[in-house]
Amino acid sequence: MPLRYPYLLLSLGLTSLLLLTGLHRPSPSSPTFQLPGLLPSYLFPSTHLVFPSPRLKREQERRYAHLRHPRIPHSDRISPSTHGKYLFVTLTRNIESQLPDLLNTIVVLVNFLGASRVRFSIYEGPSSDETPAILTDTLGPMLRKLGVPDEDVIIKTDRPAVDFSAVHRIEALAGLRNEALAPLWTQEGWGESTVAVVYFNDVYLRARDVLELLHQHTRAGEKAGAETGMTTGIDWWRRHPEYFYDVWVARTMQGDLFYPISPPSWSPSDAFLTTSPVSREAYDNLQPFQAFASWAGMAVLAATPFLGANGLRFRRSDPMRKDECAGSECELICRDLWERGFGRVQVVPSVQLAYERDVASDIVSTLSTQMGELGWYEETPNPQHDHTINWQREPPSQVKCHAWPEKTGLDGNVWETVEWGPPYPGFDL
């Protein structure tokens, strides 16, 4: 039976949360702070909700109703008789502050999409807070109460720490991401029935944002007559001034960063997407735009390219390939999608995410104002301005590369060097 009032459940599960002293986050201008998107979580002392009204609004329910019948547009991989499902994946640690919103999000998603339409693969650790206890003692029983079958839920906690001083950072991170995603190809029946993967980081979540990405992912595939490769939002470390979080990963269709970086360190900029005027116009109007690469805290991925004997995996670059950028595992998966014919990668600006409570609240306020100015109603666009992407089939011939050094440890500075190279090895325009 649906949980109509998730707050009651949360009040029980979250009573065990510790009130911790907020940890200092280093300055982005510091040479030791160079890798947005690859940093550990930092905690805030309170556990109140960023999104106190997590329920979907009526217009949102209408907009996302088609998602209750998961399908891959123009694909015969999942037959009409197969019960399609969405796979939600996360690799996380120390998310005590984000858990209230995350649990509410999951309640709304399961009740809206249906308990038989969702799967979960959650890998945690190591955490120094109550995250593993809450995932095990609250989330697990909650999913069972909501009616999600036990065989569709994998929760693994207390994963041992990685000794990054002894490993290549990107290789280790790729391995962790693959470990969380692996049930897609190892669990019986999961690959055959998974319509799309929702892979999210330790961001503050709400159901509307998850469903909007799934909606845009599906709708773009319907229009193109081919499965969308990846759909993401935008993530921020700070909203004012603008510190775009995944600046090392994301690339425009001109092959450039989403905004310029002044070496040797990550810095804020109000020149967001200025080298891609079409993308900037779409961003200003909260309309989806195509990108060469993105991740941005939450990505909807096509499941198809990860399946089969030669399925894609997160990876590090091949040090023997001089024509391959030594980028992030999240950028390299985008390059691999392009190479496999799944280069339909899009960014949805109406979904903006944060890793800290104050930034998430700032985003809510900023987006609410912008949506009002654009004539949105209940966080849904006016039908006259509800655009989908016209896909560019070919990637940019050259893509900017800020390479991770060939070394172990965490002290690499990707902004010290820059070069341009092909979108993937062997590319021939």
pLDDT for the residue numbered 74: 78
The more confidently predicted of residues 80 and 124 is: 124
Domain membership of residue 428 (yes or no) is: no
Of the pLDDT bands very low, low, confident and very high (cuts 50, 70, 90), residue 3 is low
CB 388 within 8 A of CB 223: yes
The pLDDT of residue 309 is above 60: yes
Domain membership of residue 13 (yes or no) is: yes
Domain membership of residue 149 (yes or no) is: yes
pLDDT digits (tens, 9 = 90+) for 84-110: 999 999 999 999 999 999 999 999 999
Instruction: Quote the percentage of the chain above a pLDDT of 70.
Output: 89
pLDDT digits (tens, 9 = 90+) for 373-413: 999 999 999 999 999 999 999 999 999 999 999 999 998 99
CB 146 within 8 A of CB 115: yes
pLDDT for the residue numbered 264: 80
Mean pLDDT of the chain: 90
The pLDDT of residue 415 is above 90: yes
User: Does residue 52 have a cis bond before it (omega within 30 degrees)?
Assistant: no
Domain membership of residue 205 (yes or no) is: yes
pLDDT for the residue numbered 15: 39
pLDDT for the residue numbered 286: 98
**111: CATH:** 3.90.550.10
Long-range CB contacts (< 8 A, 24+ apart) of 404-407? 404/169, 404/170, 404/317, 404/326, 404/327, 404/328, 405/326, 406/168, 406/319, 406/326, 407/168
The pLDDT of residue 275 is above 80: yes
pLDDT for the residue numbered 134: 97
Domain membership of residue 1 (yes or no) is: no
Token digits of residue 356: 């800290």
pLDDT for the residue numbered 17: 42
pLDDT for the residue numbered 262: 81
Domain membership of residue 345 (yes or no) is: yes
CB within 8 Å of 262: residues ≥ 6 apart: none
pLDDT for the residue numbered 18: 35
pLDDT for the residue numbered 429: 66
Report which of 49, 340, 55, 353 is spatially closest to residue 201, judged by C-alpha positions. 353
Summarize the confidence of residues 171-190 as an average pLDDT.
Answer: 98
CB within 8 Å of 372: residues ≥ 6 apart: none
Would you say the C-alpha torsion 207, 209, 215, 217 has a positive or negative sign? Answer: negative
Which residue segment(s) compose the domain that 298 sits in? Answer: 6-421
State the total domains in the chain. Answer: 1
pLDDT digits (tens, 9 = 90+) for 11-52: 444 534 433 333 333 333 333 333 333 333 333 334 479 998
pLDDT for the residue numbered 73: 80
Domain membership of residue 22 (yes or no) is: yes
Phi-psi category of residue 419: left, alpha or beta, with phi > 0 → left and psi -120 to 50 → alpha: beta
What DSSP element (H or E) covers 277? helix 277-284
The more confidently predicted of residues 174 and 44 is: 174
pLDDT digits (tens, 9 = 90+) for 332-380: 999 999 999 999 999 999 999 999 999 999 999 999 999 999 999 999 9
Domain membership of residue 426 (yes or no) is: no
Summarize the confidence of residues 172-183 as an average pLDDT.
Answer: 98
pLDDT for the residue numbered 82: 83
